[in-house]
Amino acid sequence: MLGYLQQAAAYLAMLLIVSRSARGLATGEHAHLFHNLCELLTAPTKIAATPDDTYTAKTDYLKILQLNTSLSEAEWRSKFAKPDKGKPRPQYQKPNQGEDTIQKKRWPDWIAAEEGIEEPNKAAVIEKRGGLGGASENTRQIYLKLLQPAAEEAAAIHGDLITLTQETAEDTIPRIIAALNAGLFGKAERKATVLDNDKLKNSATIHKTLCWQAGTNAKVEALIAISLCVCGNGASSGAQDLCISDQDNTQLDAGLTNLNTLGQDLVARCQHSKRPITGAELTAAIGSLTTNFQTKATNLYIGTYANTACSGNTGQGVCAMYKTQSKSDVETINNMPWRKELIQAATLLRSREAKRAQILAGNQKLQKLKTLAFSMLPQVQQIRKQQAQQKPPKPLTKANKEEQTSKTKECEGIRKASDCRQKGECKWEGGDAKDGKHCKLNETNVAKQAAQAGAGDGAADKKEEKFKGKKQKDCKSPDCKWEGEDCRDSSLFK
């Protein structure tokens, strides 16, 4: 049954070819091809309509940075202060310990933040937006600490957006259009309105060598020149308006000197849309055109082949034809100059679209981070409430004070942020700095340790008081022991 259907299909195809050969081509015969060609021929103008990829949330990042700067310690901010009125703020200087890449990268942003709150009341306005107007120093420091994760994330996104929006990669709009122009019109710098006739004819001298000489490759390489072959401008007889009504049906002249004007007319008759084309749409249009190529013996053609010719004259076909090694030789299509250039353009366009999605996501994330940065007061108030409910630690003993003094000196002697953060008794107050005199004693942790130690000492004192006052002759219980001149709890000696 399958064999019968295949034979029937082949017979119907043969009848169609015979019928077409007998009647010749009709008006509008290649309208479907022209529609496909126009999708590609108008691509440069659609690409030009693509919106710019801009970093729109930079002000949101700067607001976060200004709030962070306003709440930071004076010692840290002094690094960015103007040495004198009217003089510029200091530039980044490489530390003696070696390059600090984070400081170097973020220094201009810190300078910009200082500039933004330099004018009177600017810092107060920024803090008021976060609900910090007239806030205590404790509240400000808690807020600053809570702000750090959001500020760090914002700085990372800011760096990514700066990189993404720098037009240094290959996927810029001008480079995508250049690749399209090269495949469509033969030159990267040319447009449809200014076609290079010599480039289009590619050393061909007559219509036959330009479009369809069997057994050899057609000279046409640019897609607009292929369009002229498909739309029948080489014919001296036969159907008119094969691609679109009222097309310029002027025959190609003897020297092929009117390719440019006829090509411009064809492009002008395409329907132009202001809607940007996507990488997926461009790829689909290339694939769709590729599927319209057919084989004839060891020839590959697009259009209509009839009666051994593609001249477009009465009873003959109209096509652009190329030589192949075999009927299954798809590499001939893949290696066509127009296709290579358009595939490259589609690849660049998809890359740009992926980058645009990252930029959009980064802008949206920064906007959300700014909202978060200025709405942390409820968390601060909750922390302060918890602090107020905690019992104050007992006063430090003489031994505790001496130990605290020793630890204070130890912390203040540390110069590296990483070393400081590793010690539980110390805290780093230098923000993003990697080194400097910013390591301080963490008095909160030290006080907790002292309180715990005090609790232990108190328990021991109670044990001693339990047997206090007993005489030596009475200090015989298993729970007590005579030591020196006192009766003491025996568990203290175990």
Distance CA 103, CA 111 (A): 11
**Token match 């440069």: residue?**
44
> How do 480-483 and 486-489 pair as beta strands?
antiparallel
What's the pLDDT score for residue 14?
36
Instruction: Give tens-digit pLDDT for 277-288.
Output: 999 999 999 999
Backbone angles phi, psi at 431, to 5 degrees: 60, -125
CB of 238 within 8 A of CB of 313? yes
Q: What is the pTM of this model?
A: 0.70
More confident residue, 86 or 154: 154
How far, CA to CA in Å, does 29 sit from each of 10, 210, 238, 247, 417?
Answer: 22, 21, 12, 13, 77
Instruction: Give tens-digit pLDDT for 22-38.
Output: 346 888 999 999 999 99
Distance CA 432, CA 40 (A): 52
Distance CA 489, CA 481 (A): 6
The mean pLDDT value for 396-401 works out to 70
How far, CA to CA in Å, does 8 sit from each of 4, 79, 164?
Answer: 6, 88, 58
The mean pLDDT value for 453-460 works out to 49
> Which positions ≥6 away from 282 have C-beta within 8 Å?
40, 43, 342, 345, 346, 349
Least confident range from 78-82, 135-139, 278-282: namely 78-82
What pLDDT band is residue 371 in, cutting at 50, 70 and 90?
very high
Q: Tokens for 263?
A: 């090509």
Instruction: Give tens-digit pLDDT for 157-171.
Output: 999 999 999 878 889
> Which positions ≥6 away from 48 have C-beta within 8 Å?
173, 177
DSSP character at residue 435: B
What's the pLDDT score for residue 138?
93
The mean pLDDT value for 316-334 works out to 81
What is the chain's mean pLDDT, rounded?
84
What's the pLDDT score for residue 13?
38
CB of 173 within 8 A of CB of 353? no
Whether 492 has a pLDDT exceeding 80, the answer reads no
Whether 92 has a pLDDT exceeding 80, the answer reads yes
Whether 301 has a pLDDT exceeding 50, the answer reads yes
Whether 462 has a pLDDT exceeding 70, the answer reads no
Instruction: Give tens-digit pLDDT for 250-261.
Output: 888 888 999 999
What's the pLDDT score for residue 491?
55
What pLDDT band is residue 432 in, cutting at 50, 70 and 90?
confident
Share of the chain above pLDDT 70, in %: 84
Whether 10 has a pLDDT exceeding 60, the answer reads no
Whether 79 has a pLDDT exceeding 70, the answer reads yes
> Which positions ≥6 away from 74 have C-beta within 8 Å?
none
What's the pLDDT score for residue 110?
93
Whether 100 has a pLDDT exceeding 90, the answer reads no
How far, CA to CA in Å, does 237 sit from each of 66, 175, 241, 314, 318?
Answer: 77, 42, 12, 6, 12
Q: Quick one: which of 324, 312, 314, 300 has its CA closest to 230?
A: 312
Distance CA 417, CA 475 (A): 57
Instruction: Give tens-digit pLDDT for 55-75.
Output: 999 999 999 999 999 999 988
Instruction: Give tens-digit pLDDT for 346-365.
Output: 999 999 999 999 999 999 99
Give the burial class of 485: count Cβ atoms within 10 A of its Cβ; 0-12 exposed, 13-18 middle, 19 or more buried.
Answer: exposed
**Token match 């031994």: residue?**
399
What's the pLDDT score for residue 192?
64
Least confident range from 268-277, 323-332, 359-368: namely 323-332
Backbone angles phi, psi at 471, to 5 degrees: -80, 160
Q: CA torsion 175→177→180→186, rounded to 10°? A: -90
The mean pLDDT value for 229-237 works out to 81
What pLDDT band is residue 19 in, cutting at 50, 70 and 90?
very low
What's the pLDDT score for residue 403?
81
Sorted by where each begins, the domain ranges of the chain are 25-51+176-335, 55-82+103-164+352-387, 398-468
What's the pLDDT score for residue 328?
64
Whether 11 has a pLDDT exceeding 80, the answer reads no
